[in-house]
A and B are shown apart, each in its own frame.
Chain A
Amino acid sequence: MLELRLVQGSLLKKVLESVKELVNDANFDCSSTGFSLQAMDSSHVALVALLLRSEGFEHYRCDRNISMGMNLNNMAKMLKCAGNDDIITIKADDGSDTVTFMFESPTQDKISDFEMKLMDIDSEHLGIPEAEYHAIVKMPSSEFARICKDLSSIGDTVVISVTKEGVKFSTKGDIGTANIVCRQNTSVDKPEEATVIEMNEPVSLTFALRYMNSFTKATPLSNTVTISLSNELPVVVEYKIAEMGYVRFYLAPKIEEDEEDTKPQV
């Protein structure tokens, strides 16, 4: 059987809010090491990977590996019934077709339990290799969210370029162009407000802003966001979850059409 008890229940609420916009249905995999999720969006352009390590739970019991298929919208509705300070317990029996969420108020004077039906979801599992990245940018997550929001009002794609001067976010649309440059600043008082850039070689990639804005729904999970880039590879946007895990978003890049290809069409 499975029994997980998370004292900081709001973390799970935030995780669902950040993922449900991208993914409709997903399989939650529970093993002795932790509670994890991997799912793609419907068009297979973006991938989300979630890990909550078992050490982060107050109580973690998993007798055998179990996979639970859930509709994330329904799950979010369930978790919405929990208070921000409630303790959340997840229970499931072996071979059962339901999962139970139990919410306890901090003073234990109110206890709720919700039972949700599980789904049988057949999904692909992609192998993500450990990779060396050409550039890694660590910056305040609220700043990154603001940049993506501002640029999406100008155009629908963003070019992220990393050079030794800093990281530049560019877009252009019918009304004009926009460029936002963030330089490295490590001399701030608070570490979470710093922008740190590690660059092995210059990188320039183009992405759809629509997905970037979906990723920034995870901003409440963490004060900082880490953006890892390699030329011609998907970008990784990672938000840490306290001391117990992470949620990572992978987005495939856009490539420019070759002029030779467009000439015959004209």
Chain B
Amino acid sequence: MGVGGNFWDLLKPYARKEGFDFLRNKRVAVDLSFWIVQPENAIKAMHVRKPHLRLTFFRTISLFCKFGALPVFIVDGSPSLLKSRARIARYFRCSGIELANLPVPEEGVSAERNRLFSSHVQECAELVELLGMPVLKAKGEAEALCAQLNSEGHVDACITADSDAFLFGAKCIIKCFCPNSKEPFECYNMSDIEAGLGLKRKHLIAISLLVGDDHDINGVRGIGLDTALHFVKAFSEDDILNRLHEIGKGNTSQIPICIKVEDNVDGNSPNRKLSHCSFCGHPGSKKDHMKFPCEYCVTKDDEGCQRKPEDFKCDCFSCDMNRKHKEKKRLENQHTIFFHKIAEEPNFPKDEIIDMYLCNDNGYFSASDSPHIVWGNPNIEMLINFLNFHQHWEPAYVRRMMFPMISTIFLRDMTTTTVETTLFGQYEFDSVERVKMRYGYQFFVVKWKRAGVNISCKVPLKESSVQQDDAIELDEMVDLLDDFDAPEIHGDDGCSFLLTDENMDLVGAAFPAEVKRFWQEQELKRIKNSTSRSQENEKSPSPNSRSIQLNITEFYPSTKVKHRQSKQGEESSKNADSQGNGGSKMKRKMSSPDKIPKSVRRRLLFD
């Protein structure tokens, strides 16, 4: 529930789809009842033993191990008197019982939720405590405490689908949590809502008062989300609640009307409209326009006014003033109706609701003391007893399902302390097996070796694995609801190993030498592959380069000497010509002094 109307639709444009690592190392407040209500509706038809416990168990491990989040579980306290009254009214409305028979809860006594649901919440709270998660109880609404922790910086986000959390002061809400997708978190930030819609916390409180919420179902009659939004945006955050009080008391005269009206319109509002021609639609009379065209119709002197087209709107000065005046009147009427509706509502706005939303004391800790939020180690033995009693799970099955959480805590502790080197006193770090891609993110598959291998240990392992298979068959249907990867069991040379998917940074911080060696091995493999490819490349050009091209000069010797001899022969022939042809020489002497240009000479030779 939360704020009435389509409040989440209003915020939809500001949703952010966040990726897998969004919550890594972030403290997250979880509304435990929200977790329980969702699966209860989904699993009604399925015959599964205590689904609320099962889902809480696996979801907590996924949130802690796979997403690396640090959850803080918030349990509801007693609901407020107003909420009890609203809940009773909702119940009666649905059941069709007449309102006259509506019981009025006595003051000081608030009705608890149904006992079955409360017992489920209690069981889940006990379970997550055994898992080592911090659990806080709220004085009233769980989302109120979630929001307060978020606002005060004790947690980084809230997981809740209740839009009230923003009214209680939350800064970051994770509305949807789908573990099986690439972008598992649908996230809303108050900063985005402020930037996009211009709404702050008190604006949202005002909207909820007008539209209705968990504590007052109806709100103000006749006012919906759009009207409320339009009104609320006109005021600043500090002013909005005071204005609502004044409107509620009927002091509408003091509230300035937030309409920018031109002074000219106010000063010169005409009482009546000028007469207009029914033919052309412009000011004047029809008789006059039949004789002479009006100044608005730009036509020849011979012709009269043009007939006005359909949907004609006169744009003369008086008509424009008249339209503005009408608009002003309409807006004034709207605001009058709005204020009247609010004034008619008895006891509006309810100070109890406002005080509840603005209250900063939702938990059992004072402002000077910080809430006790510590993530400890899970209590394995108590968990085994708890889950064996409630779920009929075998101890070996519980240990195997718990293994990812133990390994995650172990890897985190490795960076600070080295008290223990084994998990469950049995398994120790062996190596990084490979890199695994899940939903677009890389993980290390870590191999955990069983320490102190004895021959006698083999037989019990087989027996426990058989039992585990039986347990898995029983829970197969429920596995579809949540994606959870049980550790793989891997046998090799008589030793048994467990394989888990771990965060790469976490493994790198815990065992840097091992990770470095792993990457070096990967690099060697890559080099080998590239070497073999380069060898293939080297082979292919070799057939083409077998032959050697010879040079033509190796076969035919140069005859430059002969060329010189031929030149000498030419010179000797020249001498012979000169001796024998004295006449031709004289001819040349005669022609050269004339200095005939080349073109003329060419023409003469051609002729």
**What residues make up the interface of A, taking CB atoms closer than 8 Å to B?**
3, 40, 44-47, 64-65, 91, 100, 102, 113, 124-129, 156-157, 172-174, 206, 208, 233-234, 250-257
Contact = CB atoms under 8 A, between A and B. Distances in A.
Contacts of B562: 125, 127
Contacts of A129: 556
Given A124-B560, A252-B554, A174 B570 contact: no
Given A64-B570, A65-B570, A256-B547, A126 B553 contact: yes
A251 B559 contact: no
B559 A125 contact: yes
B552 A44 contact: yes
B549 A45 contact: yes
Interface in B521-554: 540, 543-544, 546-554
Interface of B: 540, 543-544, 546-560, 562-563, 566, 570, 573-574, 602, 605-606
Nearest to B573: A64
Contacts of B573: 64
Contacts of A252: 549-552, 554-555
B570 A126 contact: no
A44 B551 contact: yes
B558 A125 contact: yes
Find the residue from B546, B551, B555 having the highest chain A CB count within 10 A.
B555
Contacts of A253: 550
Contacts of B602: 91, 100, 113
Nearest to A250: B552
A257 B546 contact: yes
Contacts of B606: 102
A255 B553 contact: no
A91 B606 CA distance: 10
Contacts of B554: 252
Contacts of B549: 45, 208, 252, 254
Given A64-B570, A64-B573, A127-B562, A45 B556 contact: no
Given A126-B558, A127-B557, A65 B552 contact: no
Contact of A126 (B540, B546, B552, B605): B552
Nearest to A64: B570
A153 to B, nearest CB: 15
A214 B30 CA distance: 83
Given A64-B573, A125-B563, A44 B556 contact: no
Given A113-B602, A233-B555, A254-B549, A125 B544 contact: no
Given A125-B558, A252-B549, 11 more contacts: A45-B552, A47-B552, A91-B602, A102-B606, A125-B563, A127-B557, A157-B547, A252-B554, A255-B547, A255-B548, A257-B546
Contact of A40 (B540, B552, B574): B552
The 7 closest A-B pairs by CB, nearest first: A254-B547, A126-B556, A127-B559, A252-B550, A252-B552, A124-B558, A47-B552
Contacts of A100: 602
Nearest to B545: A257
A173 B570 CA distance: 53
Contacts of A126: 552-553, 556-559
A64 B559 CA distance: 21
